[in-house]
Amino acid sequence: MESLWNDQEAAKYKGDLALRVYTSRLLGQNPSLVLHGGGNTSVKITQENLVGATEEILYVKGSGWDLATIEEGGFSPVRMAHLLKLAKLQALSDSQMVNELKTQMIRASAPSPSVETILHASLPYKYVDHTHADAVVTITNTPTGWERIEEIYGDRVVIIPYIMPGFDLARLCAEKFTTEAGKQTIGMVLMNHGIFSFGETAKESYERMIELVSQAENYLKQHNAWDIPQTPVIQEEKPLSYALAELRYQVSQAAGFPIIASLHRNPKTLAFAQRKDIGEISQQGPATPDHVIRTKRVPLLGRDVEGYVKDYQQYFETHVTQGKEPKTMLDPAPRVILDPKLGMSTIGRNAKAAAIVADIYHHTIEIIERATVVGGYQALSPQDLFNVEYWELEQAKLAKGGKPPMFTGEVALVTGAASGIGKACVESLLQRGAAVVGLDINEAIAGGALSAIADLDKRPDFLGIPCDVTNETAIQTALETAISKFGGLDMLILNAGIFLPGCAIKDLSTDKWRKVMGINLDANLVLMRECHPFLKLAPNGGRVVIIGSKNVPAPGPGAAAYSASKAALNQLTRVAALEWGKDNIRLNSVHPNGVFDTGIWSEEVLENRAKHYGLTVEEYKTNNVLKTEVTSRDVAELVASMCSDLFAKTTASQIPIDGGNERVI
């Protein structure tokens, strides 16, 4: 492992806290050190308060901040004098500790201090770094981990037996450090947890961390446990989307709410899932207590969908009905499922949670495989895992979590998603917690075409797929990709369409007619047909919303192909509603009119149309009964509402959103 310290870069960071930010970010850049908020850093600073008194303040990483992106405001400033007094207490409950830490901050708006704050305070060094370095955790998670750590580091580190994070760990570390640390001590290893380094400067503490972790990596290399050879895997190439969707349905039933199931099928995960000893090594538990909190349940090895369900039922009967776990907090769904055909599926309440589990378990696979080579993987005991998962602080966090957004755990597919109504639908559904797949012939959809949505191309809950919806193969490929990403489909928004310039029937060519029918009608038939098996497996029932047109109830001259295609699509929707009701799928249509913030309505076109009717542009935009303008956002909000429980008992409806059109009325 190489140091990323750069003297020129470091010179830009002025002051102790700024340098703490710099080295924290250096640590955060390396996933093998910290992952998704894991790890902790701190610095002790002497400063003057408002009344002129000098006091020492511990700035420790605050809850919710990630080392890779942390800023000065992400550190919680806590009075050292009080922390050192707390460290000398014989006992302190977790809730008491949290209260004491919050009440001793010097900035009320600061994030909550880490549960390891007292531990950082008790170490007699200005800078303290703590990571969950994969290499160190690998070695500690073996039957002879303690002896191996002693062999690697000698007296350069103090070794701490595993104790759950909190006050008891801080007190033990302070006691052992006082009696065992010497001039040669530069770090501390917490068994099954991670490693600390410290120093009088930010650079010294950071580079000691790199040095200590490098020693562990070199030890694994010397024991041929670093580069694990990939064993040949059995990989069936047939589509797996339906199997994954059915799995997602069963897991959602077990959990009691919709979940996201993300498929990670590659040589690494398949090789791991196909190991002969997978039933043993995968069931021992996660690599660190932090991973218990983030992944919750130890992974289950699946045989088939029915086997998963039986596993859940057996677990529930064994642990809940016998009173071994709090009934109100139990979520019987696993967070990782290993299957010899699927590879690895990660489960989350939303797409971000599933992505975090995936990142963690990719690292866990490496830790397990390397530890197995060194002497055998050995995680925390079942009791330790139970204690962490049902930790007082974790239960308090769950209790005040609040109600999740409306569509949390659900998946929506929107066609024509790069602009206009389709883009607005993506926004509305994301805001309500859905994971969204956007299809569009515009290839920019895959690279953040919806730039109005902040960091869309970085969001784990959005997947943009370039797709010509008139190509059946392209649709099937897009669905396979979408289901692999999120696990299923709950909502289908059929928005993609085309409106050619006005043309009388006598001048309408067969090619133009077929082009309009191909996009507005035929493509939607294929989409409905191909999506139907997945909508049947939607945990809360499938929903389809068709973006129709005012031209269905009130066609106009010069739009024969468009009006006929939309009317045929409307009739197709009505038939589907009759056929799919038994599958708990509801279909409804919205008929917009006069939506002028779409691509086809340029300022020039608007001005010409308004002039044609003898109106100003504003008068033309509001030329309806209610004298109101209809926007893409208005249509999208109605679409999202029709996917909600508000319309749970409505199917085959047709709702105009046009401000009131006299011909429709």
User: Residue 166 is encoded by which pair of tokens?
Assistant: 């909190």
CA gap 517, 525 in Å, rounded: 11
pLDDT at residue 311 tops 60: no
- In a domain? residue 231: no
Question: Residue 390's domain spans which residues?
Answer: 241-396
Residues 200 and 335 placed together within one structural domain of the fold: no
pLDDT at position 502: 81
- In a domain? residue 234: no
Average pLDDT over residues 132-154: 96
Residue 283 near residue 299 (C-beta atoms within 8 A) = yes
User: Residue 417 is encoded by which pair of tokens?
Assistant: 């998603």
For residue 77, list its beta bridge partners. 59
Residue 244 near residue 345 (C-beta atoms within 8 A) = yes
DSSP codes joined into one string, 138-187: HHHTSTTHHHHHHHHHGGGEEEE----TTHHHHHHHHHHHHHH--TT--E
- In a domain? residue 229: no
pLDDT at position 324: 46
Can 219 be counted among the known catalytic residues? no
Average pLDDT over residues 103-126: 94
What percent of the chain has a predicted confidence (pLDDT) above 70? Answer: 88
Residues 454 and 366 placed together within one structural domain of the fold: no
Highest mean pLDDT among 343-357, 517-531, 607-621: 517-531
- In a domain? residue 661: no
- In a domain? residue 404: no
- In a domain? residue 69: yes
pTM, full prediction: 0.88
- In a domain? residue 2: no
pLDDT at position 297: 38
By the 10 Å C-beta count (0-12 exposed, 13-18 middle, 19+ buried), 533 is classed as: middle
Q: Which of 222, 253, 282 is the C-terminal boundary of a domain?
A: 222
Query: Looking at 10-19, 178-187, 456-465, which range is the least confident one?
Result: 456-465
pLDDT at position 588: 98
| Residues 266-304: tens digit of each pLDDT | 999 999 989 888 888 887 777 776 655 344 333 444 444
Average pLDDT over residues 83-100: 92
- In a domain? residue 508: yes
Residues 144 and 271 placed together within one structural domain of the fold: no
Q: How do 491-494 and 411-415 pair as beta strands?
A: parallel
SS3 label, residue 503 = strand
pLDDT at position 278: 85
Q: List, edge to edge, every strand of the sheet that includes 343-348.
A: 260-264, 343-348, 336-339, 300-301
pLDDT at position 302: 44
* Residue of 319 and 216 predicted with greater confidence: 216
For residue 42, list its beta bridge partners. 60, 128
| Residues 490-503: tens digit of each pLDDT | 999 999 999 888 88
pLDDT at residue 309 tops 70: no
CA end-to-end span of the chain: 72
Residues 353 and 432 placed together within one structural domain of the fold: no
> Which DSSP state fits 105?
B
- Single out the catalytic residue among 249, 562, 613, 620: 562
| Domain CATH code at residue 203 | 3.40.225.10
Average pLDDT score, the chain: 89
Residues 283 and 311 placed together within one structural domain of the fold: yes
CA gap 75, 25 in Å, rounded: 13
pLDDT at residue 599 tops 90: no
Average pLDDT over residues 250-268: 91
pLDDT at position 623: 94
Residues 101 and 191 placed together within one structural domain of the fold: yes
pLDDT at position 414: 98
Residues 363 and 441 placed together within one structural domain of the fold: no
Residues 418 and 332 placed together within one structural domain of the fold: no
DSSP codes joined into one string, 326-391: -GGG---S-SEEEETTTEEEEEESSHHHHHHHHHHHHHHHHHHHHHHHHT------HHHHHHHHT-
Q: How do 462-466 and 435-440 pair as beta strands?
A: parallel
How many domains is the chain partitioned into structurally? 4
Residues 11 and 160 placed together within one structural domain of the fold: yes
| Residues 182-192: tens digit of each pLDDT | 999 999 999 98
| Residues 507-542: tens digit of each pLDDT | 999 999 999 999 999 999 999 999 999 999 999 999
Residues 640 and 619 placed together within one structural domain of the fold: no
Which residues are CB-contacts of 219 (< 8 A; sequence separation ≥ 6)? 135, 139, 148, 151, 152
Average pLDDT over residues 399-422: 90
pLDDT at residue 399 tops 60: no
| Domain CATH code at residue 536 | 3.40.50.720
pLDDT at residue 391 tops 70: no
* Residue of 100 and 342 predicted with greater confidence: 100
Q: Which of 353, 372, 396 is the C-terminal boundary of a domain?
A: 396
pLDDT at position 320: 42
Q: Which of 167, 191, 222 is the C-terminal boundary of a domain?
A: 222
Identify which of 327, 309, 318 has the alpha carbon closest to the alpha carbon of residue 382. Answer: 318
Residues 602 and 589 placed together within one structural domain of the fold: no
What percent of the chain has a predicted confidence (pLDDT) above 90? Answer: 70
**pLDDT class of 223 with cuts at 50, 70, 90:** very high
Average pLDDT over residues 352-364: 90
Residues 203 and 291 placed together within one structural domain of the fold: no
Average pLDDT over residues 391-414: 76
Which CA distances in Å does 547 have to 103, 120, 520, 569, 655? 55, 58, 10, 10, 10
